[in-house]
Amino acid sequence: MSRPGAPSDAPGPPSPPERPTATTSVPPAEPEGPSEPVASGSRAFAYALCGSVALAWGLNFAAIKVGLRVMDPYAWNALRYAIASVVMAGLASVAHRRAWARGQPAARARLAGRGLLTVIGLGVLGHGIYQTLFITGLANTASGNAGTIMGTVPLQVAVYETVIGRHRGADGRTSSAAVGRLFAGVLLSVIGVVLVAVGRGQGLSVARETLFGDLFIGAASIVWASFATAMSPWVRRYGSGRVTAITFASGTPIVIALGLPGLGDGIAALRVSGDAVLALAYTIVIANVWAQFAYAAGIARLGSSRAALATNLMPVVALLAGWAAFGEPLTALALAGAGLVVVGVATGLPPARPRSVPSEA
């Protein structure tokens, strides 16, 4: 997949005499605190973006169940990544050219050299390596284990951002109240995820048989949390659409290589399964293209910690989707866990009040 066109190749008016300061390939340090995002728009819009991601990824579990009835999971991943990466490149290129014509600083910022290599490396990490670890782990552990371990991603991101100092305000001080609310919300949501998994009958297994898979899922959670944390300055500096398209494309060759052996049989199976085709279309258009762009935009507006926390609503959506699509029971324990997830997310996120700030996304 070719990456979105560089600013020098994009149509539009010539650069103004005073070039934006964002011409370096290395993003600046981030002094903002968790309750003070540095991107434009209201928090309400940012929450809507992350909520749509949780909805898209939560419903995607049902779509995957349909698709894996006829396809190998590695082949399924390879096909959806191959198609989605092309679609995302096209959309990001169009959006980038329009933003360039409007003179938006993020679009005019030149992403090249060491900066571009770093973004490509993030894509290899967050998509290629992550997908390899996650799919392998999921095949060797209980789904409850996988869901619970991945539910710790917001906690990991919050810890990472605290360690590197992103929770300091403009005065250089850490907002103890804001950070306290964030961690309280994260912990409540993680407990809720565990209750949802147990309540759905997925179970949690501590056994030698699942240890191999658990280790891979654990590694996958660390990789995804690291990727989400590292993405924040890049999407704010160079625009969420452009960076997302490049990172997604960078990990795609690894995903395709894993699924290539079973890809032919998988495509043949799709020809006789209309449901699987619809599931694949949903996965590509909504769970990949839309959700990846929306998640990166959420990171740009809220920061990595709160964007990750908002997506912990995903098990709640999956719970309701399983009940509606497959008749899975809604147990009291699962509903209690879902409620705790919602409370945790509401606790960790600041009020959705609009604020006016310079746009870089």
Residue 58 has pLDDT above 70, yes or no: yes
For residues 84 and 280, the answer to whether their CB atoms sit within 8 Å is no
**Position 3 in a domain:** no
For the chain, how many residues are written? 361
Backbone angles phi, psi at 106, to 5 degrees: -65, -35
The backbone region for 27, taken as left when phi is positive above 0, alpha when psi lies in -120 to 50, beta otherwise, is: beta
Residue 267 belongs to some domain of the structure: yes
pLDDT at 39: 39
Determine the average pLDDT of the residues in 96-116.
Answer: 90
Give domain status of residue 322, yes or no: yes
- Specify burial of residue 91 (Cβ count, 10 A radius: 0-12, 13-18, 19+): middle
Residue 358 belongs to some domain of the structure: no
Band (pLDDT 50/70/90 cuts) for residue 295 is: very high
In this prediction, residues 287-293 reach a mean pLDDT of: 94
**Would you say residue 66 lies in a domain?**
yes
Residue 356 has pLDDT above 90, yes or no: no
In this prediction, residue 261 has a pLDDT band, given cuts at 50, 70 and 90, of very high
Mean pLDDT (whole number) for 103-115: 89
Average pLDDT over residues 157-180: 71
| Confidence grade of residue 53 (pLDDT, cut at 50, 70, 90) | very high
Q: How confident is the model at residue 124 (pLDDT cuts 50, 70, 90)?
A: very high
When pLDDT is cut at 50, 70 and 90, the band that residue 171 belongs to is: very low
Indicate whether 340 belongs to any domain. yes
pTM value > 0.85: no
| Confidence band for 351, pLDDT divided at 50, 70 and 90 | low
Question: What average pLDDT does this structure show over 229-257?
Answer: 94
Question: Averaged over 329-340, what is the pLDDT?
Answer: 88
The answer to the question of residue 269 being in a domain is yes
Overall domain count for the chain:
1
Distance in Å from the first CA to the final CA of the chain: 22
207 or 114: which leads in pLDDT: 114
For range 130-148, the mean pLDDT: 82
Q: Identify whether 18 is part of a domain.
A: no
Report the alpha-carbon distance of residue 250 to residue 247 in Å, rounded: 5
Q: What is the DSSP string of 301-331?
A: HH-HHHHHHHGGGHHHHHHHHHHHHH-----
Averaged over 276-284, what is the pLDDT? 93
Q: Containing domain of residue 171, as a range?
A: 38-348
Tokens of 284: 């590509």
CB 189 within 8 A of CB 309: yes
**Per-residue pLDDT, 207:** 67
